[in-house]
Structure 1
Amino acid sequence: MELGLTSFGLSFLAGVLSTLSPCVLPLVPILLGSSVSSHRMGPYALIVGLMASYTVIGVVIGSMGARIGLEADSLRVVGGLLLILFGAIMFSSVLQERFSGAISRLGVGQGLLARFNLDGLHGQFLLGMLLGIVWSPCVGPTLGVAITLASQGEALLQVGAVMLMFSLGAALPLLAIGMLSRQAMGRWRNRMLENGQKAKKVFGAALLLLGIFVLSGVDRTFERHAVNVMPDWLVILTSRF
């Protein structure tokens, strides 16, 4: 599976969907509200810290395939199987809950928040970094999709670029939601969560299809046809990394 606009776009969309998780969305106004009280630029520091955390986690895990010497074809098979797995998890609410529960029992990141001073910009940046760790079990399926896509990269820059797109996808909705009043958030929260679950089902079905395409080699055929019809500037852009 070559890295191109599809990989970056799917990773960005996975980041957007991660914000609509039931254990993330209700806390966003509270966290961003406390960030403002700590420093007027606090929300931005928190979100940059969250982006850095997601990116670091993804780069470390996503680059392991190349480091342990897996060949490109083996990575494709593993990546296709993982896309099918995460697609099934995102398509089923029951599987999402079981997956998050299994990962959360590892206790990753729990108890860290109470050990640090979170005042000021440095504190809010650290809070964002810690949230990336604490929220990882909750956003595991979407984060796993991004890491799977990133693992197909042949260089660290490719891996980092895909994870940066996931982080950006997670950050932009947080900023938008943070601008809502608490009254508006209260009115729209249930609708946002409901629409988020519907979007995850659609995304999960797309991942299942993509995983089947990867395992069958159809994605490479599609890619060849796409390159033939794409303008030169777009081909250069998608292969720059």
Structure 2
Amino acid sequence: MSYEAISPVVAFGAGVLSVLSPCILPLLPAVLASSTGKGKLRPLAIVLGVSISFTLMGVVTSAFGAAFQAHLGQLKILAELLIITMGLAMLFEISLFNAFARLPLLAGMNEKGPISGLLLGLSLGVLWIPCVGPILASILTMVALEGSTASGALTLFIYSAGFAVPMLLLAYSAHLSTSKIKLISRYDAAFKKGAGIVLILVGLWMAYQNHLSWLI
């Protein structure tokens, strides 16, 4: 397996970390608790919709990477710069995705049934891109480098599973109140800075492997 391939554990952990975004975590109790009252299957449908959105992103990005495999050297340089940039954005809390960050994420929440839940989940998968931008962009960048559609779909499916587990726990657990969510949110900055440092190190390691390892 090439070094660009993403470990399933890393992809899953990235999905869990993405839920801790300050513009996602505080909204989840409102979205999911209300959805549970409109049918026990509706939260599952929402999570499925979000997972489909992220998995399709993996397929599209992998196809893009496969199309540019002839220019892999340039693609790797772009990937290194992008991942380091995403890491710096997280470390210094610089928002690169403000343009859509305040879109109405609760649209369609009052509809009943799993079908509307699925459609809501598909929408949220797109609307939440600003919130999970640096982590998701880094995952998609690595997927593009690998250039395998099947592997890309699997990686983003695993990422989606990491995203889905906390959502389902929130939806079906009476013990996770809004106040507890706010308590968890207090540590969001620390999580983001830690993830930013990891991304910077990954980008620097990729640059070393691609351009400097021959010096030793």
What CA distance in whole angstroms lies between the structure 2 residues aligned with 1:48 and 1:172? 11
Q: Does 1:71 align with 2:84?
A: no
Q: Which runs of 5+ in 1 are unaligned?
A: 222-241
Give the CA deviation at 1:172. Answer: 0.9
What CA distance in whole angstroms lies between the structure 1 residues aligned with 2:172 and 2:181? 14
Percent sequence identity over aligned pairs: 29
- CA spacing shift, 1:57–1:113, aligned 2, 3 Å: farther
SS in 1 for 2:187: helix
| Normalised TM-score (structure 1) | 0.77
Give the CA deviation at 1:165. Answer: 1.7
What CA distance in whole angstroms lies between the structure 2 residues aligned with 1:117 and 1:188? 24
- Do the aligned partners of 2:79 and 2:142 also contact (CA within 8 Å) in 1? yes
Q: Does 1:140 align with 2:133?
A: yes
- CA spacing shift, 1:219–1:177, aligned 2, 3 Å: farther
What CA distance in whole angstroms lies between the structure 2 residues aligned with 1:11 and 1:220? 27
Give the CA deviation at 1:136. Answer: 1.2
- Do the aligned partners of 1:63 and 1:151 also contact (CA within 8 Å) in 2? yes
Give the CA deviation at 1:197. Answer: 2.2
SS in 1 for 2:145: coil
What value does the CA root-mean-square deviation take over the aligned residues?
2.8
Output aligned runs, 1:63-212, within 5 Å: 63-93=63-93, 95=94, 98-101=95-98, 103-104=99-100, 113=107, 118-181=111-174, 184-212=176-204
What CA distance in whole angstroms lies between the structure 2 residues aligned with 1:46 and 1:17? 19
Q: Does 1:214 align with 2:215?
A: no
Give the CA deviation at 1:208. Answer: 0.5
The aligned counterpart of 2:3 is: 2
What CA distance in whole angstroms lies between the structure 2 residues aligned with 1:156 and 1:62? 5
- Do the aligned partners of 1:2 and 1:152 also contact (CA within 8 Å) in 2? no
Aligned residues: 212
What CA distance in whole angstroms lies between the structure 2 residues aligned with 1:46 and 1:37? 13
